[in-house]
Amino acid sequence: MATPAHRPPACRLRPGGVDDLDDVMRVMMAAFQPCFGEAWTRSQCAGILPMAGVTLTLAEDDDESALGFALARTIADEAELLLIAVNPSSQRRGVGQALLMHFIEQARQAGAETLHLEVRDNNPAIALYSAAGFRPAGRRRNYYSGADGTKHDAVTLKLVN
């Protein structure tokens, strides 16, 4: 599980809400390549936030600027990481790891026994998920299309203890 040692010194995590959607959208638009259609719209984010079991976590620097966010949902004994994004200028600095470990902590505290997420099969974040203990559990063939028409599978990952 995550401890403060896993979090970079310039990254502070806090709960988020509808008032944080401007920051969420800024990070999302910078982090997700538009050609794959992975980014959510503002209305999709606003629509899911009030739902039971949904949490938004923001990672901020000392100036309270958003570095990244994680959107998750826990229902009964299952938790799903719906979205995780880190501003490209803050990637590979432990922000994504801090958000992922926080998701795992929150889900376990809420009683989740199964934790999962879905990711494009060529997304570099797979290394982060694998390091945290997530393993392939399923695949959706040709789920994503690149700008050049190249198809990519979606891989479902499940946390293995």
Active site residues: 118, 129
Q: 3-state SS of the chain?
A: CCCHHHCCCCCEEEECCHHHHHHHHHHHHHHCCHHHCCCCCHHHHHHHCCCCCEEEEEEECCCCCEEEEEEEEEECCEEEEEEEEECHHHCCCCHHHHHHHHHHHHHHHCCCCEEEEEEECCCCCHHHHHHCCEEEEEEEEEEEECCCCCEEEEEEEEECC
